Chain A
Amino acid sequence: MKRGIVSLVFFFLLLAAWEFAAQSVAKPYLLPSPFSVGRYIWQSTGDGTLAMATLVTMKRLLIGYAIGLVFGIPLGLLTARFKMFQDTVGLLALGMQTLPSVCWVPLALLWFGQTEAAMLFVVVMGTLWSVIIATNDGVRTMPPIYLRAARTMGSRGLHTWFKVILPASLPYLVGGMKQGWAFAWRSLMAAEIFVSILTGFGLGQLLHYGRELHAMDQVIAVMIIIIFIGLLADRLFFSPWERFLQRRWGTGKLK
C-alpha cells in the first residue's frame, strides 16, 4: 500500500514537471503539455484510430513472434545438442543477432513489396536469432547430472528430450522468449516508422504521421501507448510464467 502511494506521488510529480516545462521553458510545438496529449488519446480512442492501429500492430507482432518461437526453440535445442548444428546454425544466429533487424527493411521491401509479409519478415528476423541463442544457452546450462539420472532410470531418445531436457531448460526458455518479445517489439516499431504498408496502419505509422504533421501530442501519445502495451504484455504473459517457475524451482536467480 505504502509502495503504491510512493509510485503514485512519483508519477504525479513527473507529470507536474512535464506540465511546468511545457508552460514555461519549452515552446508548445517542441513539447506539448500533458493535457493536449491526454486530449489526443481521448479523441483518438473515441474515433477508433488508436484501437485500429493497435490491432494492426499487435497482429503483426503476435504472428511474427509466434513464427520466431516455432522455428527458434527447436533450432536452439538442436544447436545445443549437436555439434553440426552448433557450427552452422549456431554461428549464423550469433552473427545475425548482432544485426538490428531494421537493417532488413530495404531487402524485405524489395522481396515482398509494401505488404504484411515484409513487416512479418522484419519481425521474424528480430525474434528468431535471439530465441535460438537463448534456447541454446538454456539447454547448455542444464546440469548434466539430470541426464545421467534419467539414463539410469531408463529414459532414452525422445523421452529424454521431452521429459528432461525441455523441462530442465524451461527457466531459460522463458528468459529467451522474453528477450525475443523485446526484440520483436523493437523491430516492428522501427519497421513501421520506416515504411508505410498500404494494407494496415499500425502504431509506428501513426507516430510517423504525427511527425509529418508536426503533431507532437500525437507522437507522445503513441509513445505512451507503446509503453503501456509493453507493460501489459509483461504482466499478462511473462509475470505468471516467472511466478510459476519461482514457485517450482524456488529461486529468483534462474529467471
Chain B
Amino acid sequence: MSIPHELINSSAERIEVADVSKTFVTKQRTVLALDRVSLKVAESEFVCLVGPSGCGKSTLLNIIAGLEQPDSGKILANGEEINEPGRDRMVMFQEHALFPWLDVIGNVLFGLKLKPGLKDKEREEVAKYYLHLVGLEKFHHAYVHELSGGMKQRVALARALAPNPRVLLMDEPFASLDALTREQLYGDIQRIWEARKKTIIFVTHNVREAACLGDRVILFSPNPGRIRAEFAVGLPRARDINSVELAHYSTEIMAALKGFTAAEGKEASE
C-alpha cells in the first residue's frame, strides 16, 4: 500500500492550560469543578490525569477539546488560544460514540470527509491504514452492533486518529471493557503512540492504568478540583500493566491519593 502524504507524521502539539476555573451550578449546590488549574503538556508527551470522580479531570479534557468553555483562564495550543473544537484535537469518549447508521469504515471516514484538501481515494486509503493499525482490516463493512466492546473502542480510536490530529484526548476510553481486552488495548495504544507521535492526554480513575501509559501522571483532588501531585514514570516502553516495577509506581501514586483524601476527611471532621 502506498502511504499518501496525509499519513506523514505531523509534529505533535504543545498544550498549555493557564489558570482555568470552571463552576457548575445545579439546583442543590454550586460545584467548583476546576479551581485555577494550570498544566503544561509537552509535544509528544503522554500525560494521564487521575483522581476520584468529581475532581474535574473530565471537565478539563472537555475544555481542552473545546466542547466546554472555562469560566476564566485559557487553553493554548502551540501558544495560540483555543475555544472551540478543532481537527488538531480529537476526542475518544468512554462510550464508543460510533454512529450505528454507518459501517466501520464509514465511521472512520466521517471525520476524514470533513477534512479539506484530500481526494476521496486518499481518504479511503487513510481510513484503511488506520483500521489496519488497530487490527480491524477484516471488518471494514461490519456494523457497529456486530462488534465486541473492545473492537468498538478500536474503531473509535481509528476514527479519532484518521484526521491526523496533533493531540489525542481520551476520556476513560477503556473503563467499560473487561480486563483482558483492556490489557490488549494498553499494548495497542502504546504501540500506536510510538508510531504516530501524538500528544496524548488521558483521563482515568485507574491508577495502575495511568502508571502503565503515562510519561507523567497528574493527580487531581475534588471539591474544589485542583492538581495535587505529579509523578514522572521513568519506565521503558512498552510497559506491561502487571510488571513489578509498575506496581512500585502505582503504589506510590495510590498512597498519595489516599493521603490527601484522608487529610481532607480529617479537615472536614475537625
Cα distance, A248 to B101, chains bound together (Å): 6
Residues of A within 8 A of B114 (CB): 153-155, 159
Best-buried of B67, B97, B145 by chain A (most CB within 10 Å): B97
Report the minimum CB–CB distance from B127 to chain A (whole Å).
13
Per-position contact with A for B83-125: 1 when CB-CB < 8 Å, else 0? 0011101110101010111000000001100110000000000
A151-B100 contact given A247-B143, A250-B145, A250-B146, CB 8 Å threshold: no
Residues of A within 8 A of B87 (CB): 153-154
Counting chain B residues whose Cβ lies within 8 A of the other chain, the interface size class is 20 to 34
Cα distance, A250 to B143, chains bound together (Å): 8
Q: Is B65 an interface residue (CB 8 A)?
A: yes
Residues of B within 8 A of A251 (CB): 145
A167-B99 contact given A153-B110, A153-B111, A154-B114, CB 8 Å threshold: yes
Contact A152 B99 (CB under 8 A): no
Q: Is B163 an interface residue (CB 8 A)?
A: yes
A153-B97 contact given A159-B114, A247-B143, A250-B143, CB 8 Å threshold: no
Contact A154 B100 (CB under 8 A): no
How many inter-chain residue pairs (CB < 8 Å) link A and B? 62
Report the minimum CB–CB distance from B90 to chain A (whole Å).
6
Residues of A within 8 A of B110 (CB): 150, 153, 155, 163
Cα distance, A108 to B10, chains bound together (Å): 67
Total interface residues in chain A, CB < 8 Å: 22
Cα distance, A164 to B99, chains bound together (Å): 8
Cα distance, A151 to B89, chains bound together (Å): 11
Contact A168 B99 (CB under 8 A): yes
Cα distance, A164 to B114, chains bound together (Å): 13
Which of B66, B93, B145 contacts A145, CB < 8 Å?
A: B93
Per-position contact with B for A151-191: 1 when CB-CB < 8 Å, else 0? 11111000100011001101000000000000000000000
Residues of A within 8 A of B85 (CB): 151-152, 154
Cα distance, A163 to B109, chains bound together (Å): 12
Cα distance, A143 to B99, chains bound together (Å): 10
Report the minimum CB–CB distance from B95 to chain A (whole Å).
6
Contact A153 B101 (CB under 8 A): no
Cα distance, A146 to B159, chains bound together (Å): 13
Contact B115 A146 (CB under 8 A): no
Contact B143 A153 (CB under 8 A): no
Cα distance, A52 to B30, chains bound together (Å): 70
Residues of A within 8 A of B95 (CB): 143, 145
A249-B100 contact given A151-B67, A153-B114, CB 8 Å threshold: yes
Residues of B within 8 A of A249 (CB): 100-101, 145
Report the minimum CB–CB distance from B245 to chain A (whole Å).
35
Report the minimum CB–CB distance from B159 to chain A (whole Å).
8
Contact B65 A170 (CB under 8 A): no
A-B pairs with the 10 shortest C-beta distances?
A250-B145, A153-B111, A167-B101, A154-B114, A149-B97, A152-B91, A145-B97, A152-B85, A249-B100, A151-B85
